[in-house]
Amino acid sequence: MTRFRDELELIAAQAPEVDLAERAVRGARRWKVATFGSGLASLVAAAVTASVLVTAPGGATFSGEIADALPASGVEPAAYAYYDFCGKEWTPKNTPDFGTECAQWRLVTSTGGSFRMPEALSVYTEQVPDNYMNTAAPLTISSDGRRVAYYSEKDQKFAVRDLTDGRIRLSPQTVTRETMVKDGMVLVLSPDGRFLGLLARKSSMVDMETGQVTEIPEGWRVRRIGNGGSPVVVTDGKDRLGLFDDGKVTPLNQTSSQVSELSADGRTLAYLDGQEVKDHTVTRDFDAIVTLDVTTGKVLSRAEFTDIPEGFRFPRIGGWRSPTEVVLSDVLRDMSWGGKKDGMPTLGDATYAIDVGTGRIRKLDEYTYKAWAGDLILPGF
């Protein structure tokens, strides 16, 4: 027996040394994302919707690289999307240079795949200096990561693409590229990606399955749409919240520029509170989270932020992560490159979970890319 075991031990000793701790944790997180999508139906049955996010593995966000085009179907749920001006500096003067593949929107999947989306217009190469805040066409991702909304220049319409089956549904309205470049547009998807909200001077909501368009009354813009197309939360020019139903808006008597997705039961909305703005300047930051029953207009809870992580300052609010937590994001401020000539800033967002009952905030992940400028989109935001 002794010699047999000795030989087995000598064979075992040939095993290479490995360090699998971080790989295993990354894999476990990716699994969470992948299974979230398949379990959506059951989550909808529960009282909340969740948005589980993940940092893609290294190598997915090298600026200037040209990724493969998005396959026709069978794409895993999206973890985020971004464009980075090919890693070059952007000025209004060199805008015409960005009609290239490397400046296209890039989608990073929950399993780390990275694909460009040629069909989605990205940088407006004809943008004029006076309109420098509107540099690219919008893109948004449903909170389950399965559908992506974008502007299709070929069709001059907005499109929602199902990443799994590859089906692309077009909105009925025609919007020219010229209008997009001039006026800009913000897109909102319902958590299941079926309903698309268009936020411009005139706002509307589209059922992408049937093509039915619902116009939002003048002065209001659609902000959040529940699964099944209801309820519809709208805001006015002063960020006052309202509930749109049957062609009318009922004020909710609350104000916020940061409004979460609706929970899957369609009743609960979370929003950030405490911000004060004077003369277009923020004089006080958000410091609390409020939940609201949109069917009754009743405030359910209010909690001031606690355990605020370092670097957390100007949060945006996304979808529900659990029955008690909502996902927030904030821009990363990386000064480590030090302004060196041969350096390049790291851009991106960090995500956080906030407990709506206690206000406790904890950091979840960071999503980064090396570039001078660009934009990053997370599901549900």
Partner 1 sequence: MDPYEGFREFVRGRQHALMRTAYLLTGDAQQAEDLLQTVLMRTARHWRKLMKDGNPEAYVRRGLVNEHISWRRRRRAKETLTAYPPEIVHGAGPEDASLHRMALQRALLRLTPRQRAVLVLRYYEDRSVDETADLLGCSPGTVKSQTSHALGRLRDLAPELAELLHDVDPEEVYR
In this structure, what token pair is assigned to residue 333? 């401020």
Considering the complex, what minimum distance in angstroms separates the CB of residue 21 from partner 1? 4
- What whole-number distance in Å separates Cα of residue 244 and Cα of residue 254? 14
Considering the complex, what minimum distance in angstroms separates the CB of residue 42 from partner 1? 18
9 touches partner 1 by CB under 8 A: yes
CA angle 359, 362, 365 (to 5 degrees): 140
Only one of the segments 2-10, 241-249, 322-330, 331-339 lies at the binding site for partner 1 (rule: CB under 8 A); that segment is 2-10
7 touches partner 1 by CB under 8 A: yes
Residue with tokens 């000598």: 10
Considering the complex, what minimum distance in angstroms separates the CB of residue 357 from partner 1? 16
335 touches partner 1 by CB under 8 A: no
Q: Which is nearer to partner 1, 27 or 251 (CB)?
A: 27
Residue with tokens 């800033």: 345
Burial class of residue 187 (count of CB atoms within 10 Å of its CB; 0-12, 13-18, 19+): buried
1 touches partner 1 by CB under 8 A: yes
Q: Which is nearer to partner 1, 11 or 41 (CB)?
A: 11
Considering the complex, what minimum distance in angstroms separates the CB of residue 360 from partner 1? 11
Q: Per-residue x/- mask for partner 1, residues 31 to 50, rule CB under 8 A?
A: xx------------------
Considering the complex, what minimum distance in angstroms separates the CB of residue 353 from partner 1? 11
Considering the complex, what minimum distance in angstroms separates the CB of residue 163 from partner 1? 23
204 within 8 A of 173, measured Cβ to Cβ:
yes
Q: Which is nearer to partner 1, 33 or 187 (CB)?
A: 33
Q: Out of 2, 281, 283, 336, point to the residue binding partner 1 (CB under 8 A).
A: 2
Count residues contacting partner 1 (CB under 8 A)? 28
Considering the complex, what minimum distance in angstroms separates the CB of residue 80 from partner 1? 21
82 within 8 A of 369, measured Cβ to Cβ:
yes
Per DSSP, the chain holds a count of helices (H) and strands (E) of 4, 26
Q: Which is nearer to partner 1, 15 or 335 (CB)?
A: 15
154 touches partner 1 by CB under 8 A: no
- What whole-number distance in Å separates Cα of residue 187 and Cα of residue 173? 14
Considering the complex, what minimum distance in angstroms separates the CB of residue 32 from partner 1? 7
13 touches partner 1 by CB under 8 A: yes
Considering the complex, what minimum distance in angstroms separates the CB of residue 332 from partner 1? 20
8 touches partner 1 by CB under 8 A: yes
Only one of the segments 9-17, 180-188, 209-217, 313-321 lies at the binding site for partner 1 (rule: CB under 8 A); that segment is 9-17
68 within 8 A of 115, measured Cβ to Cβ:
yes
Cβ contacts of residue 265 below 8 Å, gap of 6+?
Answer: 47, 48
- What whole-number distance in Å separates Cα of residue 270 and Cα of residue 262? 8
Q: Which is nearer to partner 1, 25 or 128 (CB)?
A: 25
Only one of the segments 10-18, 156-164, 265-273, 332-340 lies at the binding site for partner 1 (rule: CB under 8 A); that segment is 10-18
CA angle 48, 231, 79 (to 5 degrees): 50
Q: Per-residue x/- mask for partner 1, residues 14 to 33, rule CB under 8 A?
A: xxxxxxxxxxxx-xx--xx-
Q: Which is nearer to partner 1, 7 or 178 (CB)?
A: 7
CA angle 196, 378, 184 (to 5 degrees): 50
- What whole-number distance in Å separates Cα of residue 108 and Cα of residue 54? 10
> Could you tell me the sign of the dihedral formed by the alpha carbons of 11, 14, 17, 20, in that order?
negative
Task: Name which of 371, 353, 373 is nearest 62 in CA terms.
Answer: 371
Q: Which is nearer to partner 1, 34 or 249 (CB)?
A: 34
* Cis before 231? omega within 30: yes
Considering the complex, what minimum distance in angstroms separates the CB of residue 23 from partner 1? 6
- What whole-number distance in Å separates Cα of residue 148 and Cα of residue 156? 16
- What whole-number distance in Å separates Cα of residue 192 and Cα of residue 359? 27
Contact residues toward partner 1 (CB under 8 A) are 1-5, 7-25, 27-28, 31-32
